[in-house]
Chain A
């Protein structure tokens, strides 16, 4: 067990290093970063001065080590456009992003899992069919279209929720639904199949044969085992929701990290892009680690290699 945990930790450190290297390297993707960031009106001297000031004239390995050592302390430099430390800009946006991702996750689990259970226990009934067709459609609906339609129907026509912005819980509903619907559909399908698979196992048959009531078989034996993979995926989903809400954030004017990053990408604000990408990826990797460790603790049988 300890060896496994140690190995996973080491792997995570390696991946985070790789993430930072990629984020750092992305700066050079479009050629000379000085020229990317330089204003068109600058003279040659100003450009060279800027290059020196940003440290772009040093060997890249030195630059990377410097980037890393500062990043560890939460210092990713200042935004080129906003004259603010980029890490502070990111932190300011984090609560909104986490709030939205949590709400979407809540919907994804709160609706997805019950729907999956319902479908599995009523297998091959009309209910099952309807739920699964609904899930397929939900999975196929592009989020930008969904968002526009939701806003039109529930905010403008019916007036149940505000159109945009962050505020009370009612501001959260539409963006969370449009962000979470894909995961609802996914979780429903996955829960259903996981339960059906568990129900086919010997120990379930044994329990049933021993006369354990069906409801108890379901809740005690089937659900517990079936939900392990669902929860595992949910962790990854949460990581994806954190960084993947760009379109939802745009449509609902949600002040999250995604919009900040897009703005930075479009404004060629490289320090901000680097920081955003590194932080989001690191969160994802760490979440992943936590889930793996939990998984190993919960179910030693299926401990990964």
Chain B
């Protein structure tokens, strides 16, 4: 599961976020400008030292086709652009493309490209660049040298045809409505540079179309970026950015407090009060994208009965869990987090209510052996409060008379367990990234996905039907029909209840008040200039 997921937020979540963040971003760009920078932009920018952004490690490489870490995505999302990108409301909007459509053969996606866009080296962006980029992801020689971009395998692209300089056709092996999501992961490279330079060179010096370009990279220490004056949306006001790898979270917090760092992402709920106590800092909260749930392996005899799975769901005191663990970051209410965006959630489905008596009754009816030990496997430090969630859920299970305990595992041990022949043999806590695209979100619980350890497709009554509808869905282009099918699938899923759905993991960042940057999309990408907005600025104090 790539950690590149973007967050798509519903209007409700969005309004909540804006209410939480200091100054209510986005409702009206015009009012924001008058509120925050009354014409002081440039002079202010020159007086300030460059913003420093800290994250745990360095990107392993700056060649987007050779790496897949979230750290790399954070850095490169400011250097490169794709045909499409997510805006703050988590809608997929055209960026390097001006528009796109699928042709009547259902497998050809036609992208009309933006004109007048230039790469950092001055060369123009055009259809050739798109073709070159996609062809490069499939280049067998480079693949042998470590190129590991999942784009070809995921998207099923077979060929790229240049229609004219500003139109390109991407042809897939079979119809797939999710394709634009894959296009989001495909940063467009400058053909001349990337065809003449070796991977050794491109790994440290990227050339894209993004608002900033990489100046210098002292590995392990700092990566310096400077504004790209020829950027198609205009040169960014902030002339330099510094990225620094800082392994210790406590050190990153200390750096925020002393002013050595300006932005630190992925705060834990406990960090929030600390940040708020420092007058020059503020917290920026974005709604979540990662679907935190507890999976129930439906192939295990004791979990085969639906009623047992219902009981486990009814046993969850969600409010106590969410408020207790996430504090200010807690989502408003319990939801079916199978799909991340509200528009894709079947409005008729109600989440399980918290009812211990009901849970006990269901267990009795199902004849569940209460003296058996229930384990909840959990990774440690991978998701916000993961171990704590598992411990707390185990405690709530004990309240209905079960013998439950959390089993914290090292991530490597956890994934080994997942890959072992039987897979997970007891409850497990997992967080799945979302692309804010209903069908894509649903695909994660279809057959053959390592991340679905419930094995519900093969072990439950509704599973096969779900799989079948999913296959049809990927070929259905009518948006209304798509929603109906997704809703139907969610109903099937809900009936079987192979998940105890918890929440979409929210993202919080600590930000120095001199910057007007706001976290977006669960903190999964640290982007300084989102589509449809102005660039990040220094704020007069």
Indicate yes or no for A touching B, C-beta below 8 A: yes
Known contacts A49-B144, A250-B248; decide if A164 and B60 are in contact (CB<8 Å): no
Residues of A within 8 A of B222 (CB): 165
How far, in Å, is A299 (CB) from chain B's closest CB? Answer: 41
Known contacts A85-B200, A164-B246, A255-B218; decide if A80 and B255 are in contact (CB<8 Å): no
Residues of B within 8 A of A148 (CB): 250
Cβ-closest chain B residue relative to A259: B220
- Residues of chain A in range 59-96 having any CB-CB distance to chain B below 8 Å: 78, 80-85, 89, 92-93, 96
In the complex, what distance in Å separates the CA atom of A151 from the CA atom of B153? Answer: 47
- Interface-facing stretch out of A111-119, A121-129, A154-162, A277-285: A154-162
Cβ-closest chain B residue relative to A262: B247
Known contacts A50-B144, A156-B257; decide if A253 and B218 are in contact (CB<8 Å): no
CB-contact partner of A83 in B203, B245, B247, B248, under 8 A: B203
Residues of A within 8 A of B255 (CB): 163-164
In the complex, what distance in Å separates the CA atom of A83 from the CA atom of B60? Answer: 9
Asked if residues A80 and B146 are in contact (CB atoms below 8 Å), the reply is yes
- Interface-facing stretch out of B10-18, B61-69, B284-292, B353-361: B61-69
How far, in Å, is B516 (CB) from chain A's closest CB? Answer: 24
Per-position contact with A for B138-153: 1 when CB-CB < 8 Å, else 0? Answer: 0000011110101001
The verdict on B57 contacting chain A, using a C-beta distance below 8 Å, is yes
> Number of A residues contacting the other chain (C-beta, 8 Å)?
38
Asked if residues B260 and A162 are in contact (CB atoms below 8 Å), the reply is yes
The verdict on B199 contacting chain A, using a C-beta distance below 8 Å, is yes
Known contacts A93-B219, A163-B251, A164-B246; decide if A83 and B145 are in contact (CB<8 Å): yes
Asked if residues A83 and B254 are in contact (CB atoms below 8 Å), the reply is no
Residues of B within 8 A of A253 (CB): 244-248, 251
Per-position contact with B for A163-187: 1 when CB-CB < 8 Å, else 0? Answer: 1111000000000000000000000
Residues of B within 8 A of A163 (CB): 251, 254-255, 258, 260
The verdict on B343 contacting chain A, using a C-beta distance below 8 Å, is no
Known contacts A83-B63, A83-B146, A84-B200; decide if A252 and B219 are in contact (CB<8 Å): no
The verdict on B204 contacting chain A, using a C-beta distance below 8 Å, is yes
The verdict on B221 contacting chain A, using a C-beta distance below 8 Å, is yes
Q: Give the one of B150, B203, B220, B250 with max A CB within 10 A.
A: B220
The verdict on A152 contacting chain B, using a C-beta distance below 8 Å, is yes
In the complex, what distance in Å separates the CA atom of A253 from the CA atom of B380? Answer: 22
In the complex, what distance in Å separates the CA atom of A255 from the CA atom of B66? Answer: 23
Q: Give the one of A39, A80, A83 with max B CB within 10 A.
A: A83
- Residues of chain A in range 236-279 having any CB-CB distance to chain B below 8 Å: 250-253, 255-256, 259-260, 263, 267
Residues of A within 8 A of B251 (CB): 151, 163-164, 251-253
In the complex, what distance in Å separates the CA atom of A155 from the CA atom of B145? Answer: 44
Asked if residues A165 and B250 are in contact (CB atoms below 8 Å), the reply is no
Known contacts A53-B144, A96-B221, A255-B220; decide if A156 and B203 are in contact (CB<8 Å): no
- Residues of chain B in range 246-268 having any CB-CB distance to chain A below 8 Å: 246-248, 250-251, 254-255, 257-258, 260
Q: How large is the interface on B (under 10, 10 to 19, 20 to 34, 35 or more residues)?
A: 35 or more
The verdict on A41 contacting chain B, using a C-beta distance below 8 Å, is yes
Per-position contact with A for B148-186: 1 when CB-CB < 8 Å, else 0? Answer: 101001000000000000000000000000000000000
Residues of B within 8 A of A267 (CB): 60
Asked if residues A81 and B254 are in contact (CB atoms below 8 Å), the reply is no
CB-contact partner of B150 in A41, A49, A85, A151, under 8 A: A41
Residues of B within 8 A of A41 (CB): 148, 150, 153
- Residues of chain A in range 38-52 having any CB-CB distance to chain B below 8 Å: 39, 41, 46, 49-50
Interface of chain B: mostly helix, strand, loop or mixed: loop
Residues of B within 8 A of A152 (CB): 254
In the complex, what distance in Å separates the CA atom of A96 from the CA atom of B219? Answer: 11
- Residues of chain B in range 33-61 having any CB-CB distance to chain A below 8 Å: 57-58, 60-61
Residues of B within 8 A of A81 (CB): 60-61, 67, 146
How far, in Å, is A151 (CB) from chain B's closest CB? Answer: 6
Asked if residues B61 and A82 are in contact (CB atoms below 8 Å), the reply is yes
In the complex, what distance in Å separates the CA atom of A85 from the CA atom of B66? Answer: 15
How far, in Å, is B455 (CB) from chain A's closest CB? Answer: 19
Cβ-closest chain A residue relative to B246: A253
Cβ-closest chain B residue relative to A144: B248
Asked if residues B254 and A165 are in contact (CB atoms below 8 Å), the reply is no
Cβ-closest chain A residue relative to B415: A40
Residues of A within 8 A of B61 (CB): 81-83
In the complex, what distance in Å separates the CA atom of A19 from the CA atom of B221? Answer: 29
Asked if residues A84 and B144 are in contact (CB atoms below 8 Å), the reply is no
Residues of B within 8 A of A53 (CB): 144
CB-contact partner of B247 in A46, A80, A84, A259, under 8 A: A259
In the complex, what distance in Å separates the CA atom of A256 from the CA atom of B221? Answer: 9
Known contacts A164-B255, A164-B260; decide if A82 and B221 are in contact (CB<8 Å): no
In the complex, what distance in Å separates the CA atom of A155 from the CA atom of B259? Answer: 11
- Residues of chain B in range 443-474 having any CB-CB distance to chain A below 8 Å: none
Asked if residues B244 and A165 are in contact (CB atoms below 8 Å), the reply is yes
CB-contact partner of B254 in A39, A49, A155, under 8 A: A155
In the complex, what distance in Å separates the CA atom of A177 from the CA atom of B207? Answer: 41
CB-contact partner of B60 in A82, A151, A156, under 8 A: A82
Residues of A within 8 A of B57 (CB): 263
Asked if residues B148 and A151 are in contact (CB atoms below 8 Å), the reply is no
- Residues of chain B in range 332-361 having any CB-CB distance to chain A below 8 Å: none
Cβ-closest chain B residue relative to A159: B258
Residues of B within 8 A of A251 (CB): 248, 251
How far, in Å, is B411 (CB) from chain A's closest CB? Answer: 11
Residues of B within 8 A of A156 (CB): 254, 257-258
- Residues of chain B in range 207-258 having any CB-CB distance to chain A below 8 Å: 218-222, 244-248, 250-251, 254-255, 257-258
How far, in Å, is B112 (CB) from chain A's closest CB? Answer: 33
Cβ-closest chain B residue relative to A163: B254
Residues of A within 8 A of B148 (CB): 39, 41
How far, in Å, is B279 (CB) from chain A's closest CB? Answer: 15
In the complex, what distance in Å separates the CA atom of A50 from the CA atom of B140? Answer: 12
Residues of B within 8 A of A159 (CB): 258
Residues of A within 8 A of B63 (CB): 83
How far, in Å, is B199 (CB) from chain A's closest CB? Answer: 4
Residues of B within 8 A of A84 (CB): 200, 203-204
How far, in Å, is B59 (CB) from chain A's closest CB? Answer: 9
In the complex, what distance in Å separates the CA atom of A164 from the CA atom of B66? Answer: 29
In the complex, what distance in Å separates the CA atom of A152 from the CA atom of B199? Answer: 42
Asked if residues A92 and B260 are in contact (CB atoms below 8 Å), the reply is no
Residues of A within 8 A of B203 (CB): 82-84
Residues of A within 8 A of B258 (CB): 155-156, 159, 162-163
Residues of B within 8 A of A256 (CB): 220
In the complex, what distance in Å separates the CA atom of A235 from the CA atom of B63? Answer: 42
**Extra contacts besides A82-B219, A148-B250, A156-B257 (16): CB < 8 Å:** A81-B146, A82-B203, A83-B63, A83-B199, A156-B258, A162-B258, A162-B260, A163-B251, A164-B246, A164-B254, A166-B221, A250-B248, A251-B248, A253-B248, A256-B220, A259-B247
9 smallest beta-carbon distances between A and B, as pairs: A255-B220, A255-B221, A83-B203, A253-B246, A81-B60, A163-B254, A83-B199, A250-B247, A163-B255
Interface residues of A (CB under 8 A from B): 39, 41, 46, 49-50, 53, 78, 80-85, 89, 92-93, 96, 148, 151-152, 155-156, 159, 162-166, 250-253, 255-256, 259-260, 263, 267
What are 6 A-B residue pairs whose CB atoms fall within 8 Å in the complex? A41-B150, A53-B144, A92-B219, A164-B251, A250-B248, A267-B60
Interface residues of B (CB under 8 A from A): 57-58, 60-61, 63, 66-67, 143-146, 148, 150, 153, 199-200, 202-204, 218-222, 244-248, 250-251, 254-255, 257-258, 260
